[in-house]
A and B are shown apart, each in its own frame.
Chain A
Protein backbone atom coordinates (compact mmCIF):
# COMPACT_ATOMS: atom_id res chain seq x y z
CA UNK A 1 0.00 0.00 0.00
CA UNK A 2 1.38 3.37 -0.97
CA UNK A 3 1.92 6.26 1.40
CA UNK A 4 -0.99 8.25 0.05
CA UNK A 5 -3.45 5.36 0.31
CA UNK A 6 -2.35 4.64 3.85
CA UNK A 7 -3.04 8.23 4.85
CA UNK A 8 -6.43 8.21 3.14
CA UNK A 9 -7.47 4.96 4.84
CA UNK A 10 -6.88 6.49 8.28
CA UNK A 11 -9.90 7.52 10.32
CA UNK A 12 -8.33 10.15 12.55
CA UNK A 13 -5.24 12.32 12.40
CA UNK A 14 -3.59 12.96 15.78
CA UNK A 15 -1.07 15.81 15.70
CA UNK A 16 1.47 15.98 18.52
CA UNK A 17 3.65 19.04 18.95
CA UNK A 18 5.31 21.49 18.70
CA UNK A 19 5.06 21.73 22.45
CA UNK A 20 3.90 18.60 24.19
CA UNK A 21 4.54 17.11 27.63
CA UNK A 22 5.83 13.89 26.12
CA UNK A 23 8.56 15.58 24.16
CA UNK A 24 11.11 18.02 25.39
CA UNK A 25 12.19 18.80 21.86
CA UNK A 26 10.31 20.88 19.32
CA UNK A 27 9.09 18.82 16.41
CA UNK A 28 5.71 17.93 15.04
CA UNK A 29 4.54 14.35 14.63
CA UNK A 30 1.29 13.61 12.80
CA UNK A 31 -0.06 10.16 13.53
CA UNK A 32 -2.67 8.78 11.14
CA UNK A 33 -4.70 6.46 13.29
CA UNK A 34 -7.14 3.71 12.40
CA UNK A 35 -8.89 2.05 15.34
CA UNK A 36 -6.07 3.05 17.73
CA UNK A 37 -3.45 1.55 15.41
CA UNK A 38 -1.01 3.86 13.66
CA UNK A 39 -1.20 3.40 9.89
CA UNK A 40 1.15 6.21 8.97
CA UNK A 41 3.26 8.90 10.55
CA UNK A 42 4.65 12.14 9.26
CA UNK A 43 7.30 14.26 10.92
CA UNK A 44 8.13 17.93 10.56
CA UNK A 45 11.64 18.38 11.80
CA UNK A 46 12.79 21.86 10.94
CA UNK A 47 10.95 24.52 12.89
CA UNK A 48 13.94 26.15 14.55
CA UNK A 49 16.45 26.72 11.80
CA UNK A 50 19.19 29.16 12.79
CA UNK A 51 21.52 29.11 9.77
CA UNK A 52 24.74 28.32 11.62
CA UNK A 53 26.53 27.09 8.50
CA UNK A 54 25.83 30.43 6.90
CA UNK A 55 27.05 32.48 9.89
CA UNK A 56 30.35 30.63 9.78
CA UNK A 57 31.14 31.44 6.15
CA UNK A 58 34.28 33.61 6.10
CA UNK A 59 35.05 33.56 9.81
CA UNK A 60 38.56 33.08 11.22
CA UNK A 61 38.80 29.38 11.90
CA UNK A 62 39.39 29.45 15.67
CA UNK A 63 36.52 31.87 16.15
CA UNK A 64 34.24 29.86 13.89
CA UNK A 65 34.93 26.58 15.65
CA UNK A 66 33.48 28.05 18.86
CA UNK A 67 30.16 28.33 17.04
CA UNK A 68 30.25 24.63 16.15
CA UNK A 69 30.17 23.98 19.87
CA UNK A 70 26.94 25.97 20.16
CA UNK A 71 25.19 23.74 17.61
CA UNK A 72 24.07 21.45 20.39
CA UNK A 73 23.94 21.82 24.15
CA UNK A 74 24.08 18.08 24.85
CA UNK A 75 26.90 16.86 22.62
CA UNK A 76 28.86 20.12 22.46
CA UNK A 77 32.31 18.60 22.92
CA UNK A 78 31.82 16.18 20.04
CA UNK A 79 30.89 18.99 17.63
CA UNK A 80 33.95 21.04 18.55
CA UNK A 81 36.20 17.98 18.43
CA UNK A 82 34.94 17.02 15.00
CA UNK A 83 35.42 20.53 13.58
CA UNK A 84 38.91 20.70 15.04
CA UNK A 85 39.67 17.24 13.76
CA UNK A 86 38.64 18.19 10.23
CA UNK A 87 41.10 21.11 10.29
CA UNK A 88 43.84 18.97 11.81
CA UNK A 89 43.35 16.29 9.16
CA UNK A 90 43.42 18.86 6.38
CA UNK A 91 46.51 20.71 7.59
CA UNK A 92 48.24 17.49 8.77
CA UNK A 93 48.75 18.73 12.32
CA UNK A 94 49.99 16.10 14.77
CA UNK A 95 48.11 16.12 18.07
CA UNK A 96 50.07 15.09 21.20
CA UNK A 97 48.99 11.79 22.68
CA UNK A 98 48.01 13.29 26.04
CA UNK A 99 45.62 15.70 24.30
CA UNK A 100 43.97 12.82 22.45
CA UNK A 101 43.47 10.96 25.71
CA UNK A 102 41.83 13.95 27.41
CA UNK A 103 39.61 14.50 24.37
CA UNK A 104 38.52 10.86 24.56
CA UNK A 105 37.83 11.16 28.32
CA UNK A 106 35.63 14.21 27.67
CA UNK A 107 33.82 12.51 24.80
CA UNK A 108 33.05 9.43 26.87
CA UNK A 109 31.88 11.47 29.86
CA UNK A 110 29.63 13.33 27.47
CA UNK A 111 28.30 10.08 26.05
CA UNK A 112 27.55 9.00 29.60
CA UNK A 113 25.61 12.17 30.36
CA UNK A 114 23.75 12.03 27.05
CA UNK A 115 22.72 8.42 27.58
CA UNK A 116 21.60 9.19 31.14
CA UNK A 117 19.41 12.03 29.83
CA UNK A 118 18.01 9.57 27.32
CA UNK A 119 17.23 7.00 30.00
CA UNK A 120 15.65 9.66 32.21
CA UNK A 121 13.55 10.92 29.32
CA UNK A 122 12.50 7.42 28.27
CA UNK A 123 11.47 6.56 31.83
CA UNK A 124 9.52 9.79 32.04
CA UNK A 125 7.62 8.98 28.85
CA UNK A 126 6.96 5.52 30.28
CA UNK A 127 5.62 7.12 33.44
CA UNK A 128 8.21 5.56 35.73
CA UNK A 129 9.21 8.62 37.74
CA UNK A 130 11.51 6.91 40.24
CA UNK A 131 13.85 5.63 37.56
CA UNK A 132 13.69 9.01 35.79
CA UNK A 133 14.84 10.77 38.96
CA UNK A 134 17.53 8.18 39.61
CA UNK A 135 18.95 8.79 36.14
CA UNK A 136 18.93 12.55 36.76
CA UNK A 137 20.75 12.06 40.06
CA UNK A 138 23.39 9.94 38.35
CA UNK A 139 23.72 12.51 35.61
CA UNK A 140 24.58 15.22 38.15
CA UNK A 141 27.56 13.12 39.27
CA UNK A 142 28.74 12.95 35.65
CA UNK A 143 28.24 16.70 35.24
CA UNK A 144 30.47 17.20 38.29
CA UNK A 145 33.25 15.26 36.58
CA UNK A 146 32.85 17.34 33.43
CA UNK A 147 32.91 20.48 35.59
CA UNK A 148 36.10 19.38 37.33
CA UNK A 149 37.94 18.92 34.03
CA UNK A 150 36.64 21.86 32.02
CA UNK A 151 35.11 24.40 34.42
CA UNK A 152 31.69 24.52 32.81
CA UNK A 153 28.65 22.28 32.88
CA UNK A 154 27.91 22.47 29.15
CA UNK A 155 30.06 23.97 26.35
CA UNK A 156 33.38 22.78 27.71
CA UNK A 157 35.57 24.21 24.91
CA UNK A 158 38.26 21.60 25.49
CA UNK A 159 39.80 20.98 22.02
CA UNK A 160 41.75 23.64 20.23
CA UNK A 161 43.59 23.19 16.94
CA UNK A 162 46.72 21.24 17.79
CA UNK A 163 45.71 19.96 21.21
CA UNK A 164 43.59 21.03 24.16
CA UNK A 165 43.30 24.21 26.16
CA UNK A 166 45.71 24.48 29.13
CA UNK A 167 42.91 24.94 31.67
CA UNK A 168 41.57 21.48 30.82
CA UNK A 169 44.76 19.61 31.61
CA UNK A 170 44.30 16.84 34.18
CA UNK A 171 46.71 17.59 37.04
CA UNK A 172 47.28 15.55 40.19
CA UNK A 173 44.41 17.03 42.18
CA UNK A 174 41.94 16.48 39.36
CA UNK A 175 43.32 13.00 38.78
CA UNK A 176 42.73 11.86 42.36
CA UNK A 177 39.31 13.49 42.42
CA UNK A 178 38.35 11.83 39.12
CA UNK A 179 39.56 8.44 40.35
CA UNK A 180 37.59 8.69 43.59
CA UNK A 181 34.35 9.82 42.03
CA UNK A 182 34.59 7.49 39.05
CA UNK A 183 34.97 4.40 41.21
CA UNK A 184 31.74 5.34 43.02
CA UNK A 185 29.99 6.23 39.77
CA UNK A 186 31.00 2.93 38.19
CA UNK A 187 29.07 0.95 40.83
CA UNK A 188 26.07 3.27 40.64
CA UNK A 189 25.79 3.10 36.85
CA UNK A 190 26.18 -0.67 36.91
CA UNK A 191 23.37 -0.91 39.45
CA UNK A 192 21.14 1.40 37.48
CA UNK A 193 21.69 -0.42 34.17
CA UNK A 194 21.12 -3.74 35.88
CA UNK A 195 17.87 -2.47 37.39
CA UNK A 196 16.60 -1.09 34.06
CA UNK A 197 17.36 -4.29 32.18
CA UNK A 198 15.94 -6.65 34.79
CA UNK A 199 12.84 -4.65 35.71
CA UNK A 200 9.89 -6.64 34.44
CA UNK A 201 7.60 -3.61 34.73
CA UNK A 202 9.69 -1.51 32.33
CA UNK A 203 10.52 -4.36 29.99
CA UNK A 204 6.94 -5.51 29.57
CA UNK A 205 6.01 -1.98 28.51
CA UNK A 206 8.76 -1.51 25.90
CA UNK A 207 9.10 -5.07 24.57
CA UNK A 208 7.89 -5.64 21.03
CA UNK A 209 6.85 -2.06 20.31
CA UNK A 210 8.33 0.12 17.60
CA UNK A 211 10.15 -2.67 15.76
CA UNK A 212 12.75 -1.50 13.24
CA UNK A 213 14.14 -4.47 11.31
CA UNK A 214 17.73 -4.63 10.11
CA UNK A 215 16.69 -4.19 6.46
CA UNK A 216 14.73 -1.05 7.28
CA UNK A 217 17.57 0.29 9.40
CA UNK A 218 20.03 -0.19 6.54
CA UNK A 219 17.60 1.37 4.07
CA UNK A 220 17.13 4.48 6.24
CA UNK A 221 20.82 4.64 7.28
CA UNK A 222 19.99 4.57 10.98
CA UNK A 223 23.05 5.73 12.89
CA UNK A 224 24.63 5.00 16.23
CA UNK A 225 23.01 3.09 19.11
CA UNK A 226 19.63 3.19 17.36
CA UNK A 227 21.10 1.31 14.40
CA UNK A 228 23.14 -1.01 16.61
CA UNK A 229 19.95 -1.97 18.47
CA UNK A 230 18.62 -3.15 15.08
CA UNK A 231 21.65 -5.32 14.43
CA UNK A 232 23.92 -3.04 12.40
CA UNK A 233 27.45 -3.69 13.61
CA UNK A 234 29.00 -0.29 12.95
CA UNK A 235 30.81 1.76 15.57
CA UNK A 236 33.14 4.46 14.27
CA UNK A 237 35.09 4.36 17.52
CA UNK A 238 36.57 1.04 16.43
CA UNK A 239 38.02 2.74 13.34
CA UNK A 240 39.29 5.96 14.93
CA UNK A 241 42.99 6.16 15.76
CA UNK A 242 42.24 7.93 19.06
CA UNK A 243 40.39 4.87 20.37
CA UNK A 244 42.91 2.25 19.18
CA UNK A 245 44.52 1.72 22.57
CA UNK A 246 41.26 1.13 24.44
CA UNK A 247 39.52 -2.17 24.92
CA UNK A 248 35.73 -2.00 24.79
CA UNK A 249 32.80 -3.90 23.35
CA UNK A 250 30.41 -2.71 20.67
CA UNK A 251 26.86 -3.35 21.86
CA UNK A 252 24.89 -4.95 19.02
CA UNK A 253 21.39 -6.23 19.69
CA UNK A 254 19.04 -8.02 17.31
CA UNK A 255 15.40 -7.30 18.11
CA UNK A 256 15.27 -3.66 17.06
CA UNK A 257 12.34 -2.77 19.30
CA UNK A 258 12.10 -0.08 21.98
CA UNK A 259 13.44 -2.53 24.56
CA UNK A 260 16.68 -2.97 22.63
CA UNK A 261 17.11 0.75 22.13
CA UNK A 262 16.85 1.32 25.88
CA UNK A 263 19.06 -1.66 26.75
CA UNK A 264 21.69 -0.63 24.19
CA UNK A 265 22.10 2.76 25.88
CA UNK A 266 22.20 1.24 29.35
CA UNK A 267 24.93 -1.22 28.30
CA UNK A 268 26.85 1.42 26.35
CA UNK A 269 27.15 3.63 29.40
CA UNK A 270 28.91 0.77 31.20
CA UNK A 271 31.35 0.51 28.28
CA UNK A 272 31.96 4.26 28.45
CA UNK A 273 32.96 4.03 32.10
CA UNK A 274 35.35 1.25 31.10
CA UNK A 275 37.03 3.48 28.48
CA UNK A 276 37.36 6.42 30.90
CA UNK A 277 38.96 4.18 33.53
CA UNK A 278 41.49 2.82 31.04
CA UNK A 279 42.29 6.33 29.80
CA UNK A 280 42.83 7.69 33.31
CA UNK A 281 45.07 4.77 34.26
CA UNK A 282 47.29 5.01 31.20
CA UNK A 283 47.24 8.79 30.72
CA UNK A 284 50.60 9.58 29.05
CA UNK A 285 52.69 12.51 30.25
CA UNK A 286 54.00 15.14 27.88
CA UNK A 287 52.80 18.33 26.21
CA UNK A 288 49.09 18.95 25.82
CA UNK A 289 49.19 21.03 22.66
CA UNK A 290 51.39 21.71 19.68
CA UNK A 291 50.61 25.19 18.43
CA UNK A 292 53.51 25.52 16.00
CA UNK A 293 51.37 25.14 12.87
CA UNK A 294 50.86 27.70 10.13
CA UNK A 295 47.35 28.32 8.84
CA UNK A 296 47.40 28.01 5.09
CA UNK A 297 45.03 27.30 2.28
CA UNK A 298 43.33 23.99 2.83
CA UNK A 299 41.30 21.98 0.37
CA UNK A 300 37.99 20.44 1.37
CA UNK A 301 38.59 18.29 4.45
CA UNK A 302 36.17 15.96 6.19
CA UNK A 303 35.91 14.17 9.49
CA UNK A 304 33.56 11.58 10.94
CA UNK A 305 33.13 10.92 14.64
CA UNK A 306 30.88 8.67 16.69
CA UNK A 307 28.74 11.02 18.76
CA UNK A 308 26.38 9.79 21.51
CA UNK A 309 23.53 9.60 18.98
CA UNK A 310 25.39 8.30 15.96
CA UNK A 311 27.89 9.60 13.51
CA UNK A 312 28.59 13.27 12.90
CA UNK A 313 30.05 14.54 9.65
CA UNK A 314 31.86 17.86 9.41
CA UNK A 315 33.55 19.28 6.36
CA UNK A 316 35.17 22.60 5.71
CA UNK A 317 37.82 24.31 3.60
CA UNK A 318 40.13 27.18 4.51
CA UNK A 319 41.24 30.00 2.24
CA UNK A 320 44.76 31.48 2.27
CA UNK A 321 44.04 33.78 5.25
CA UNK A 322 42.68 30.91 7.36
CA UNK A 323 39.00 31.72 7.01
CA UNK A 324 36.29 29.07 6.90
CA UNK A 325 34.74 28.27 3.52
CA UNK A 326 31.80 25.95 2.88
CA UNK A 327 31.36 24.58 6.36
CA UNK A 328 28.94 21.67 6.43
CA UNK A 329 27.66 19.56 9.24
CA UNK A 330 25.41 16.53 9.23
CA UNK A 331 24.07 15.19 12.48
CA UNK A 332 22.67 11.76 13.34
CA UNK A 333 19.16 12.69 14.51
CA UNK A 334 18.07 13.45 10.94
CA UNK A 335 18.19 9.83 9.81
CA UNK A 336 17.36 8.39 13.24
CA UNK A 337 14.07 10.29 13.37
CA UNK A 338 13.27 9.36 9.77
CA UNK A 339 13.61 5.68 10.58
CA UNK A 340 11.31 6.08 13.59
CA UNK A 341 8.61 7.16 11.14
CA UNK A 342 8.62 3.58 9.83
CA UNK A 343 9.17 1.93 13.20
CA UNK A 344 5.96 3.21 14.80
CA UNK A 345 3.62 1.96 12.04
CA UNK A 346 1.35 -0.84 13.25
CA UNK A 347 1.65 0.04 16.94
CA UNK A 348 -0.87 1.41 19.38
CA UNK A 349 -1.08 5.20 19.47
CA UNK A 350 0.16 5.27 23.07
CA UNK A 351 3.39 3.60 22.00
CA UNK A 352 3.90 6.05 19.13
CA UNK A 353 5.34 8.82 21.26
CA UNK A 354 7.56 6.33 23.08
CA UNK A 355 8.96 5.10 19.77
CA UNK A 356 9.65 8.69 18.72
CA UNK A 357 11.50 9.35 21.98
CA UNK A 358 13.37 6.04 21.79
CA UNK A 359 15.76 7.22 19.06
CA UNK A 360 17.07 9.96 21.39
CA UNK A 361 15.99 12.95 19.33
CA UNK A 362 17.97 16.14 19.75
CA UNK A 363 16.54 18.75 17.47
CA UNK A 364 18.90 21.66 18.06
CA UNK A 365 21.29 20.36 15.43
CA UNK A 366 18.79 18.80 13.08
CA UNK A 367 16.95 21.83 11.78
CA UNK A 368 17.95 22.23 8.17
CA UNK A 369 17.32 24.80 5.46
CA UNK A 370 13.80 25.63 4.38
CA UNK A 371 12.93 26.80 0.88
CA UNK A 372 10.43 29.65 0.82
CA UNK A 373 8.75 30.39 -2.49
CA UNK A 374 6.08 33.07 -2.78
CA UNK A 375 5.57 33.04 0.98
CA UNK A 376 4.99 29.26 1.08
CA UNK A 377 7.43 26.81 2.54
CA UNK A 378 8.29 23.64 0.74
CA UNK A 379 10.73 20.80 1.06
CA UNK A 380 13.13 19.69 -1.68
CA UNK A 381 12.11 16.62 -3.63
CA UNK A 382 14.54 13.78 -4.15
CA UNK A 383 15.32 14.78 -7.76
CA UNK A 384 16.08 18.37 -6.77
CA UNK A 385 18.48 17.26 -4.05
CA UNK A 386 20.21 14.90 -6.49
CA UNK A 387 20.59 17.64 -9.07
CA UNK A 388 22.03 19.97 -6.41
CA UNK A 389 24.57 17.31 -5.45
CA UNK A 390 25.45 16.78 -9.13
CA UNK A 391 26.11 20.50 -9.50
CA UNK A 392 28.42 20.31 -6.53
CA UNK A 393 26.44 22.39 -4.05
Chain B
Protein backbone atom coordinates (compact mmCIF):
# COMPACT_ATOMS: atom_id res chain seq x y z
CA UNK B 1 0.00 0.00 0.00
CA UNK B 2 2.66 2.49 1.05
CA UNK B 3 4.85 1.29 -1.80
CA UNK B 4 2.00 1.83 -4.25
CA UNK B 5 1.34 5.40 -3.12
CA UNK B 6 4.96 6.38 -3.20
CA UNK B 7 5.52 4.76 -6.59
CA UNK B 8 2.51 6.54 -8.01
CA UNK B 9 3.99 9.87 -6.98
CA UNK B 10 7.27 9.47 -8.86
CA UNK B 11 7.06 7.73 -12.19
CA UNK B 12 10.19 8.10 -14.27
CA UNK B 13 10.08 7.78 -18.04
CA UNK B 14 13.25 6.92 -19.88
CA UNK B 15 13.43 7.78 -23.55
CA UNK B 16 15.45 5.48 -25.75
CA UNK B 17 15.94 6.35 -29.38
CA UNK B 18 16.53 3.17 -31.37
CA UNK B 19 16.83 4.95 -34.70
CA UNK B 20 13.77 6.71 -36.06
CA UNK B 21 13.79 10.18 -37.52
CA UNK B 22 13.95 12.26 -34.30
CA UNK B 23 10.37 13.46 -34.63
CA UNK B 24 8.93 11.21 -31.92
CA UNK B 25 11.85 11.94 -29.57
CA UNK B 26 11.08 15.59 -29.59
CA UNK B 27 7.39 14.88 -29.12
CA UNK B 28 8.14 12.66 -26.09
CA UNK B 29 10.53 15.21 -24.61
CA UNK B 30 7.95 17.85 -25.45
CA UNK B 31 5.07 15.93 -23.84
CA UNK B 32 7.06 15.35 -20.68
CA UNK B 33 8.80 18.70 -20.41
CA UNK B 34 7.25 21.56 -22.26
CA UNK B 35 4.89 23.81 -20.34
CA UNK B 36 1.92 23.22 -22.60
CA UNK B 37 1.69 19.43 -22.32
CA UNK B 38 3.62 18.98 -19.07
CA UNK B 39 3.51 15.36 -17.94
CA UNK B 40 5.30 16.49 -14.80
CA UNK B 41 1.99 17.70 -13.35
CA UNK B 42 0.99 14.03 -13.14
CA UNK B 43 4.30 13.40 -11.37
CA UNK B 44 5.79 11.73 -14.42
CA UNK B 45 9.42 12.75 -14.84
CA UNK B 46 11.78 12.32 -17.78
CA UNK B 47 15.07 10.65 -16.93
CA UNK B 48 18.13 9.35 -18.77
CA UNK B 49 19.14 6.78 -16.20
CA UNK B 50 17.72 3.26 -16.69
CA UNK B 51 18.25 2.35 -13.04
CA UNK B 52 15.70 4.85 -11.79
CA UNK B 53 13.23 4.44 -14.66
CA UNK B 54 9.79 2.83 -14.47
CA UNK B 55 8.60 3.37 -18.03
CA UNK B 56 10.77 2.84 -21.10
CA UNK B 57 9.59 4.81 -24.14
CA UNK B 58 11.14 3.39 -27.31
CA UNK B 59 10.98 5.41 -30.52
CA UNK B 60 11.99 4.03 -33.87
CA UNK B 61 12.59 0.63 -35.45
CA UNK B 62 15.22 -1.64 -33.93
CA UNK B 63 18.43 -1.34 -35.92
CA UNK B 64 21.28 -3.82 -36.14
CA UNK B 65 23.38 -1.55 -33.96
CA UNK B 66 20.74 -0.85 -31.32
CA UNK B 67 19.34 -4.31 -30.60
CA UNK B 68 21.99 -5.08 -27.97
CA UNK B 69 21.78 -1.71 -26.18
CA UNK B 70 17.98 -2.04 -26.13
CA UNK B 71 18.16 -5.44 -24.40
CA UNK B 72 20.76 -4.15 -21.94
CA UNK B 73 18.75 -1.06 -21.06
CA UNK B 74 15.61 -3.16 -20.61
CA UNK B 75 17.45 -5.48 -18.23
CA UNK B 76 18.91 -2.55 -16.29
CA UNK B 77 15.47 -1.17 -15.44
CA UNK B 78 14.30 -2.58 -12.09
CA UNK B 79 10.98 -4.41 -11.77
CA UNK B 80 8.13 -3.47 -12.09
CA UNK B 81 8.47 -1.81 -15.47
CA UNK B 82 6.37 -1.10 -18.54
CA UNK B 83 7.46 -0.42 -22.10
CA UNK B 84 5.77 2.00 -24.48
CA UNK B 85 6.47 1.77 -28.22
CA UNK B 86 6.04 5.29 -29.56
CA UNK B 87 5.28 6.20 -33.17
CA UNK B 88 4.61 4.15 -36.29
CA UNK B 89 8.27 3.11 -36.36
CA UNK B 90 8.13 1.79 -32.82
CA UNK B 91 4.84 -0.02 -33.43
CA UNK B 92 5.38 -1.44 -36.93
CA UNK B 93 8.79 -0.20 -38.18
CA UNK B 94 7.01 2.56 -40.11
CA UNK B 95 8.24 3.18 -43.61
CA UNK B 96 11.68 1.72 -43.03
CA UNK B 97 10.53 -1.90 -43.37
CA UNK B 98 8.56 -3.65 -46.15
CA UNK B 99 8.76 -0.54 -48.27
CA UNK B 100 12.04 -0.90 -50.14
CA UNK B 101 12.70 -0.37 -53.84
CA UNK B 102 14.50 -2.79 -56.12
CA UNK B 103 17.19 -3.67 -53.61
CA UNK B 104 14.59 -4.53 -50.99
CA UNK B 105 14.63 -3.56 -47.35
CA UNK B 106 17.66 -2.16 -45.64
CA UNK B 107 19.79 -4.73 -43.82
CA UNK B 108 20.27 -2.28 -40.98
CA UNK B 109 16.60 -2.16 -39.98
CA UNK B 110 15.97 -5.43 -38.15
CA UNK B 111 12.56 -5.73 -36.52
CA UNK B 112 9.78 -4.20 -34.46
CA UNK B 113 10.32 -3.33 -30.80
CA UNK B 114 7.91 -6.01 -29.51
CA UNK B 115 9.96 -8.74 -31.19
CA UNK B 116 12.85 -7.87 -28.88
CA UNK B 117 11.25 -6.87 -25.56
CA UNK B 118 7.64 -7.16 -24.30
CA UNK B 119 5.65 -4.01 -25.04
CA UNK B 120 2.67 -2.87 -22.93
CA UNK B 121 1.53 0.33 -24.60
CA UNK B 122 1.45 1.05 -28.33
CA UNK B 123 1.25 4.72 -29.24
CA UNK B 124 0.78 5.09 -33.03
CA UNK B 125 1.16 8.19 -35.17
CA UNK B 126 3.82 9.68 -37.39
CA UNK B 127 4.91 11.33 -35.21
CA UNK B 128 2.84 10.38 -32.17
CA UNK B 129 1.14 13.48 -30.81
CA UNK B 130 1.93 14.64 -27.28
CA UNK B 131 -1.72 14.10 -26.29
CA UNK B 132 -1.50 10.47 -27.41
CA UNK B 133 1.79 9.97 -25.57
CA UNK B 134 0.26 11.34 -22.37
CA UNK B 135 -2.78 9.08 -22.83
CA UNK B 136 -0.59 6.04 -23.51
CA UNK B 137 1.65 6.55 -20.51
CA UNK B 138 -1.34 7.37 -18.27
CA UNK B 139 -2.97 4.10 -19.42
CA UNK B 140 0.18 2.23 -18.46
CA UNK B 141 0.41 3.57 -14.90
CA UNK B 142 -2.29 1.22 -13.42
CA UNK B 143 -0.44 -1.73 -14.99
CA UNK B 144 2.71 -0.56 -13.28
CA UNK B 145 1.03 -0.33 -9.87
CA UNK B 146 -0.52 -3.81 -10.13
CA UNK B 147 2.71 -5.56 -10.95
Binding site for B on A (CB under 8 A): 18-21, 24-26, 47-52, 54-59, 64, 66-67, 70-74, 76, 117, 133, 136-137, 139-140, 153-155, 323-324, 362-364
Contacts and interface: CB of A to CB of B under 8 A. Distances in A.
A324 B35 contact: no
Given A26-B17, A73-B26, A133-B34, 15 more contacts: A24-B29, A25-B22, A47-B66, A52-B96, A55-B96, A57-B101, A57-B102, A59-B100, A59-B102, A67-B95, A139-B34, A140-B30, A154-B26, A155-B23, A362-B22
A323 B102 CA distance: 10
Given A154-B23, A154-B27, A49 B65 contact: yes
B35 A137 contact: yes
B69 interface: yes
B140 interface: no
Given A71-B21, A117-B26, A155 B48 contact: no
A140 B34 contact: yes
B48 A20 contact: yes
B95 A74 contact: no
A136 B22 contact: no
Given A47-B65, A48-B19, A56-B101, A70 B94 contact: yes
Nearest to B46: A21
B62 to A, nearest CB: 11
Contacts of A363: 22
Contacts of B21: 70-73, 76, 364
Interface residues of B, number: 40
B127 A73 contact: yes
Interface of A is mostly: loop
Interface stretch (B4-12, B103-111, B114-122): B103-111
Contact of B36 (A20, A59, A140, A154): A140
A24 B25 contact: yes
A50 B99 CA distance: 13
Contacts of B29: 24
A50 B101 contact: no
A50 B20 CA distance: 9
Given A67-B95, A136-B35, A137-B34, A55 B23 contact: no
A74 B101 contact: no
B63 interface: yes
Contact of B101 (A25, A58, A155): A58
Interface of B: 16-27, 29-30, 33-36, 48, 61, 63, 65-66, 69, 94-96, 99-103, 105-109, 126-127, 129
Nearest to A327: B101
A48 B63 contact: yes
Given A117-B26, A153-B127, A21 B48 contact: yes
B16 A19 contact: yes
A48 B66 contact: yes
B36 A51 contact: no
B40 to A, nearest CB: 11
B39 to A, nearest CB: 13
B71 to A, nearest CB: 14
A361 B7 CA distance: 36
Contacts of A50: 19, 61, 63, 96, 106, 108-109
B10 to A, nearest CB: 18
Given A21-B48, A155-B126, A74 B26 contact: yes
Contacts of A54: 100, 103, 106
A51 B110 CA distance: 12
A184 to B, nearest CB: 15
Contacts of B107: 51
A136 B34 contact: yes
A59 to B, nearest CB: 4
User: Which among A26, A50, A74, A133 has the highest number of chain B CB atoms within 10 Å?
Assistant: A50
10 contacts: A51-B109, A55-B100, A57-B101, A57-B102, A59-B100, A70-B94, A76-B23, A137-B36, A153-B127, A364-B22
A134 to B, nearest CB: 8
Task: Pick the 6 closest A-B CB pairs, nearest first.
Answer: A73-B23, A58-B102, A51-B106, A58-B101, A136-B34, A73-B22
B101 A324 contact: yes
Given A49-B65, A49-B108, A364 B20 contact: yes
Contacts of B61: 50
A48 B65 contact: yes
B108 A136 contact: no
Given A73-B20, A73-B22, A51 B95 contact: no
Contacts of A64: 101
Contacts of A137: 34-36
B63 A154 contact: no
Contacts of A57: 101-103
A323 B18 CA distance: 30
Contact of A73 (B25, B33, B102): B25
